């Protein structure tokens, strides 16, 4: 067993303390639990020098800053440190300066999305606690990540998807070993089925923010970004926001790094990006509220951010406000146009959710919410290969003379 610096868990709404090393879901108030650490003790035992010397791959290099105690419970599928890729020609086309908009490409992770971070930690902790059966509602990528890591850990998994989830995602989930079900509803409807089965079936619910450890996995995006940028953070982060675990996790990471004295200068403005067809967080932020009501008839081509209601809505909005950030909704047409632009001009195939951040960047430049001189990071949350693309219609008949003037 290795030393862990977890001191306790804490209700994100009331502050009530919960014992560590016990299985928890939501708090008694029905809100997410946050893992808290003895940061003073951590800072004495683990330094930047220690981090630089570690040979652990991917985000497991931050193991001392995470809750898994026993190394044998660290489930791994070959995680990598995801690259930072500055936009060049496409940045100029969006109205910015080449190199000032940087994509963190999370599509390089196992199962092709940033969901690998959160579900890896959730499954690792499930293994540590001796849980046997996990269940999750998903718009696609979270289900694939859970299925993969659960299979790797030898755990049973059951996944519920809206019946219009992209087919490649659904097949991927099933292929990776999960019992996979299609539901005639949205992700919140799938979530109700998962919740109803906790007692009836006995599975453990790993829905977004309904257990404490997916946040810790997503926190590694912030840790990794800070290390990659030499412990000086960008001016702003544009994040595609559905359940918002990553935005919440990164803001938590920055607070912990501040307490450890590892980062210098300002914290980035956190910018939550949603689609116009499903923008509950945007509307709550605009109205000055902390909680967002259910968004009716949610729809968008960016399936990963089609989340009509989020249990951690207030945590997203607090992070945005505390960082002097903002929320923005963008149209599906603009999302797909931005995806095509970045692919054509910079050779980077964004998923629609990632492309939404490029649209938000363009709009924020136009409105003056972001300046051309600022360095911003756009999170591409998954490989664009999982999403439909335009068919190739040009053909050549090899038995006919080739009309080379058409090239």
99-128 pLDDT, tens digit per residue, is: 999 999 999 999 999 999 999 999 999 999
Q: Which CATH number fits domain 84-112+213-386: 2.60.40.10, 3.60.15.10, 3.40.50.1100, 3.40.50.300?
A: 3.40.50.1100
Residues 6+ apart with CB under 8 A from 393: none
Q: For the whole model, what pTM was predicted?
A: 0.93
Q: Which of 312, 299, 301, 233 is nearest to 272 (CA)?
A: 312
Instruction: For residue 270, count CB atoms less than 10 angstroms from its CB and return exposed for 0-12, middle for 13-18, buried for 19 or more.
Output: buried
What confidence tier does 2 reach under pLDDT thresholds 50, 70, 90? low
Q: Which helix (H) or strand (E) holds 298?
A: none
**What are the domain boundaries of the chain?**
84-112+213-386
Q: What is the pLDDT of residues 290-325, one digit of tens each?
A: 999 999 999 999 989 999 999 999 999 999 999 999
**Looking at residue 57, what is its pLDDT?**
86
What confidence tier does 265 reach under pLDDT thresholds 50, 70, 90? confident
Q: Tell me the CA distances in angstroms from 281 to 197, 221, 376, 379, one per residue in order.
A: 28, 21, 21, 18
Q: What is the pLDDT of residues 120-179, one digit of tens each?
A: 999 999 999 999 999 999 999 999 999 999 999 999 999 999 999 989 999 999 999 999
Q: Evaluate whether 117 touches 148 at the Cβ level (below 8 Å).
A: no
What confidence tier does 4 reach under pLDDT thresholds 50, 70, 90? confident
Residue count of the chain: 407
3-state secondary structure of 334: helix
Q: What is the pLDDT of residues 14-55, one digit of tens each?
A: 999 999 999 999 999 999 999 999 999 999 999 999 999 998
CA–CA distance, 51 with 32 (Å, rounded to integer):
29
**Mean pLDDT score of the chain, rounded to an integer?**
95
**Looking at residue 248, what is its pLDDT?**
96
Q: What is the pLDDT of residues 225-242, one digit of tens each?
A: 999 999 999 999 999 999
Q: Tell me the CA distances in angstroms from 234 to 104, 227, 264, one per residue in order.
A: 12, 12, 11
Residues 6+ apart with CB under 8 A from 276: 300, 329, 330, 331, 332
3-state secondary structure of 17: strand
Bridge-based pairing state of the strands 376-380 and 236-240: parallel
**Looking at residue 264, what is its pLDDT?**
82
197-201, 299-303, 377-381 — most confident range: 377-381
Q: Tell me the CA distances in angstroms from 199 to 190, 204, 211, 270, 374, one per residue in order.
A: 16, 9, 16, 38, 50
Q: Is the Cα torsion angle 333, 338, 343, 349 positive or negative in sign?
A: negative
CA–CA distance, 160 with 322 (Å, rounded to integer):
35
């Amino acid at each position: 067993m290795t030393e862990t610096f977890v001191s306790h868990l804490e209700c994100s709404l009331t502050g009530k303390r919960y014992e560590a090393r016990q299985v928890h879901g939501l708090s008694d108030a029905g809100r997410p639990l946050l893992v808290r650490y003895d940061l003073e003790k951590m800072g004495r035992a683990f330094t930047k020098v220690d981090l630089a010397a570690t040979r652990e791959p991917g985000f497991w290099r931050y193991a001392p800053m995470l809750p898994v105690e026993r190394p044998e419970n660290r489930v791994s599928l070959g995680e990598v440190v995801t690259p930072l890729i500055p936009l060049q020609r496409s940045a100029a086309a969006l109205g910015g300066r080449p190199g000032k908009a940087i994509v963190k490409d999370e599509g390089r992770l196992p199962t092709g999305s940033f969901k690998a971070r959160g579900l890896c930690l959730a499954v690792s902790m499930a293994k540590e606690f001796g849980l046997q059966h996990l269940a999750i509602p998903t718009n696609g990528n979270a289900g694939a990540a859970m299925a993969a890591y659960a299979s790797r850990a030898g755990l049973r998994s059951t996944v519920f998807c809206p019946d219009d989830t992209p087919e490649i995602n659904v097949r991927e989930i099933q292929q990776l070993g999960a019992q996979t079900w299609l539901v005639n509803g949205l992700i919140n409807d799938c979530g109700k089925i998962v919740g109803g089965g906790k007692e009836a079936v006995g599975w453990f619910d790993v829905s977004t923010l309904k257990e404490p450890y997916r946040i810790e996995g997503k926190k590694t995006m912030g840790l990794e970004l800070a290390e990659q940028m030499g412990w000086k953070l960008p001016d702003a982060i544009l994040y595609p926001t559905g359940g918002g675990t990553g935005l919440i996790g990164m803001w938590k990471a920055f607070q912990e790094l501040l307490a450890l004295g590892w980062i210098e200068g300002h914290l980035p403005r956190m910018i939550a990006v949603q689609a116009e067809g499903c923008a509950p967080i945007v509307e709550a932020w605009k109205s000055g509220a902390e909680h967002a009501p259910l968004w009716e008839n949610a729809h968008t081509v960016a399936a990963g951010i089609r989340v009509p209601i989020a249990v951690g809505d207030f945590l997203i909005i607090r992070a945005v406000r505390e960082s002097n950030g903002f929320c923005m909704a963008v149209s599906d047409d603009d999302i797909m146009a931005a995806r095509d632009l970045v692919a054509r001009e910079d050779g980077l195939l964004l998923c629609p959710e990632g492309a939404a951040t490029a649209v938000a960047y363009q709009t924020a430049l136009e409105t003056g919410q972001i300046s051309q001189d600022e360095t911003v990071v756009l999170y591409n949350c998954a490989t664009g290969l999982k999403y439909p693309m335009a068919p190739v219609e040009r053909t050549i008949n090899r038995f006919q003379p080739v009309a080379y003037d058409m090239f």
